[in-house]
Every structure is written in structure tokens, then in C-alpha cells.
Amino acid sequence: MATKTIMLNCAAGMSTSLLVKKMQEAAKAQGKDYEIFACPASEADNKLANQEINCVLLGPQVGYMKADFEKKLEGTGIPMGVIPMQDYGMMNGKKVLEFADSLMAE
């Protein structure tokens, strides 16, 4: 059983799948037992209702949906952030994992 679950959201779930793989590699290298997955923003409600999520990350291309996600997550205590464009573009799994960890530590 994973200790933390991180959900990445993007337009179709495709572009973030490579980033998820890089984040999983970084987590494994750090000895972290995290479940990290990507899904289209349109499926986020279903995932949030049926799965324990510890952190929600939005791809830069759906950053405009931040306010919608803040409403969805209101009162849940689940931290959420938009992945920095540079880290996303470089597919820097280690930096994005650090970003998620910083959100969960707040």
C-alpha cells in the first residue's frame, strides 16, 4: 500500500504519463512508496470520490482550471498546485516530486 498518492491532471492524460514515469523513478530512488498517476481533468471528480488522494497537480496546459480545482478540493485538506512550466517541459520528475512533497508538507 502506497504511503502517498499523487494525481496529475492534464487535458487528455497523455502528456503527463511520461512525467509520471519520471516521478515514479525519482520516488523509487528516494525510497518513497508513492502511487503516482495521470488522468484527464475531466475524470478528476471520479478519482477524488473513489480514491484516497494526498496531492493534486495540474499540468501547465490546464493551469487555467486552478480555481475549479480549488473549489473541488475545498475542505478536503488535499493540497493542489500547478506544475511549473519549466519542470514540466523538461520532464523533470525529481523537481516535480519535490514540488508535490513541498505541497504535502504545508
**Residue among 6, 7, 8, 10 flagged as catalytic:** 10
Output the CA torsion sign for 71, 101, 3, 37. Answer: positive
Number of separate helices (H) and strands (E) present in the chain: 5, 4
Q: How many C-beta atoms surround the C-beta of residue 99 within 10 A? A: 19
Nearest to 4 by CA among 99, 74, 104: 104
Told to judge if 39 belongs to the known catalytic residues of this protein, a careful annotator would answer no
Angle at which helix 93-105 crosses helix 15-29, to 10 degrees, equals 70
Rounded to 5 degrees, φ, ψ at 55 are -160, 140
Catalytic residues: 10
